[in-house]
Amino acid sequence: MSNFFNKSDLTRQDADKIVSETLNNCDDGELYLEESKSESILLDDNKIKSSNYSSDLGFGFRAISNEVVAYSYSNEISKDSLKNSSENLKSTLKSIKGTYNYEIPKSNKKFYEDINPIEQKTLDSKLEVLNKVNDFLRKKDGSVKQVTASFAGEQKSIEIIRSDGEALTDVRPLIRFNVSVMLEKNGRKETGVFGIGGRQSYDDYLKNDNWKNVCEEAFRIASVNLESKPAPAGEMKVVLGPGWPAILIHEAIGHGLEGDFNRKKTSAFHDLIGEKVASEGVTIVDDGTIDNRRGSLTIDDEGTPTERTVLIENGILKNFMQDRHNARLMNTRSTGSGRRENYRHIVLPRMRNTMMLSGNQTQDEMIKSVDKGIFAVSFGGGQVDITSGKFVFNCTEAYEINNGKIGSPIKGATLIGDGPSILKEVSMVGNDMMLDPGIGTCGKAGQGVPVGVAQPSILIDKMTVGGTKL
């Protein structure tokens, strides 16, 4: 745990005093202190290309009055710097009159250990794994022309000081291991990427030579794509595989259910609570409480313990995801979804691990039911226009389906759909729910935060596939 006060002229008592004075007439706000240590080590083109270590320390001071949020940050933790920020907040909120809401729910549960993954594995042994990856893939097949492998590790310590002197702390480890391979055959080049990670030590993810499985998967995806044909264009049936393809849910539904867009009524879902927005059998939750997952948090960045929030239950829209600010303005409670990339950014309501729960059909039944369509197994990135509800995502592994059978692999195509109506097109929900491998980062308003997704196989009756073959 970081001690933010031992290397500064600012004492804990000073901080408490300045925070209380500043937030006295505000509706909410806090001082957020953060120290992060991170590393990234990259092997590329047969060499250790870079090894970077970075340390960051700073605070963000927030004061809220009615709908106005004043925010000031600095990476200098000192009495002067905090006082400057305080003056800055007071000058924005000139004629404020609020009632500070002291209540923060409490929980003793923790969803990961207080470890520093960077220190738990020596640099030498990390370099050794990266070199093994490179040798393994290059020896595996003559078509391997490029290998990139990387470690990224982080420990982030935070402390939240509220107006009554209450302090909430959390230590968050996070790691990711990634392999990308490019193959070339008959003049064609294709890449395959696979990664794993979460909030445990590197070795928890790499035991039993698990790095080999990561290599095999990246190689398999690239090999499939070497044989791919142009994708079809037009509306058709789409079967989504389990796990990572749930980024469809994240883009199509998740963002539209974040509190801020609904308070501002700019989300296509803002007036649909209690309405049927998905087929029967579709239940979607956003869960911050799964042990060691990339999107899990013991407390969110406002100090609220996270929870499992039911968003859609059996097709009916139940809840939005809330931070304290939007919850207060919408007369509800925070769902522990207040997150920020780091102390430089304001808190926004964000997703954690977004999951569609299992139904009782099998992937086989889905494929067999499709005359003409595609089977999408893995995706790259996605994006959504919250207001019109239109979303896209890019296939990185997909196949044609003809007469109930899986056919040739198809080239990376974009799928496009309409958020509010897509879940009504779900006609089968599989019994094979799977979590993603721990690689997701969600972007919103220029802030990236780690997230997870999960889903079973699903059949969507109608979606537009953006290929080139008419």
Partner 1 sequence: MVKDEEFLKSKASYCLDLAKKMGATDASVTVGHSISETVNFRNKSLEASDRSDGLALSIETYLGKKRSSISSSNLLDENIKTLIEKCFETTKITPEDEFNSLPDKNLLAKKISSLNLYDETRFENDKKIKYLNDLEESASSNNQIINTESSFTENKSNFILANSDGFCDGYKTSSFVASCVTVAKDENSMERDYEFSSKRHLSDIKQATDLGNKAAKQTIRKLSPKKIGSEKISIIFDKRISKGMLSAFASAISASAIARGTSFLKDKIDEQVFADSINVIDKPDIIKGMGSQNFDSEGVNSNTLQLIENGILKNYLVDTYNGKKLNLKSNGRSGGTTNLYFEKGNISYEDLMKKNSRSLYITETIGHGSNIVTGDYSVGATGFLVENGEFKYPVNEITIAGNFKDMFKNIILANDLEFEYSVNSPTMMIEGMTVAGK
Positive or negative: CA dihedral 126, 132, 138, 144? negative
Cross-strand bridge partners of residue 399: 375, 409
In whole angstroms, the minimum distance from the beta carbon of 151 to partner 1 comes to 13
d(CA 83, CA 18): 7
**CB of 86 or CB of 353, closer to partner 1:** 86
| Gap between the Cα atoms of 436 and 453, Å rounded | 6
**Complex with partner 1: residue 71 or 244, whichever CB lies closer:** 71
* Residue 199 one-letter amino acid: R
CB atoms within 10 A of CB 109: 10
Question: DSSP 3-state helix, strand, coil percentages of the chain (rounded to 5)?
Answer: 25, 40, 35
- Cα diameter, the chain: 73
Of the pair 308, 462, the CB lying nearest partner 1 is at 462
State in angstroms the smallest separation of the CB of 389 from partner 1.
8
Residue type, 122: T
Contact 70, 28 (CB under 8 A): no
288 three-state secondary structure:
coil
Q: Which amino acid is at 181?
A: V
Shortest approach of partner 1 to residue 456 CB, angstroms?
24
Nearer to partner 1, 89 or 355 (CB): 89
Q: How far is the CB of 69 from partner 1 (least distance, A)?
A: 4
First to last CA, the chain: 59
Least Cβ distance, residue 387 to partner 1 (angstroms): 4
Tell me the closest approach of the beta carbon of residue 87 to partner 1, in angstroms.
10
Two structure tokens written together for 151:
């470690």
Q: Which two tokens stand for residue 225?
A: 């794509």
Nearer CB in complex with partner 1: 9/291: 9
> Among residues 135 and 164, whose Cβ is nearest to partner 1?
135
CB of 225 to partner 1, least distance (A): 9
C-alpha span between 375 and 458 (Å, rounded)? 10
Q: Which residue type occupies 188?
A: R
Strand partners, 276: 316
Measured from the CB atom, the residue of 204 and 418 that comes closer to partner 1 is 418
Minimum CB separation from partner 1 for residue 96, in Å? 12
Shortest distance (Å) from residue 444 CB to partner 1: 14
User: Would you say 398 and 377 are in contact if contact means Cβ atoms under 8 Å apart?
Assistant: yes
Comparison of 11 and 54: residue with beta carbon closer to partner 1 = 54
- Least spacing, CB of residue 423 vs partner 1, in Å: 16
List Cα–Cα distances, 73 to 34, 77, 157, 436, in angstroms.
11, 10, 17, 34
Q: Which is nearer to partner 1, 75 or 213 (CB)?
A: 75
- For partner 1, give the closer residue by CB, 189 or 308: 189
**Residues 351 and 295 sit within 8 Å (Cβ to Cβ):** yes
Task: Report how far residue 288's alpha carbon sits from residue 62's, in angstroms, rounded to the nearest whole number.
Answer: 24
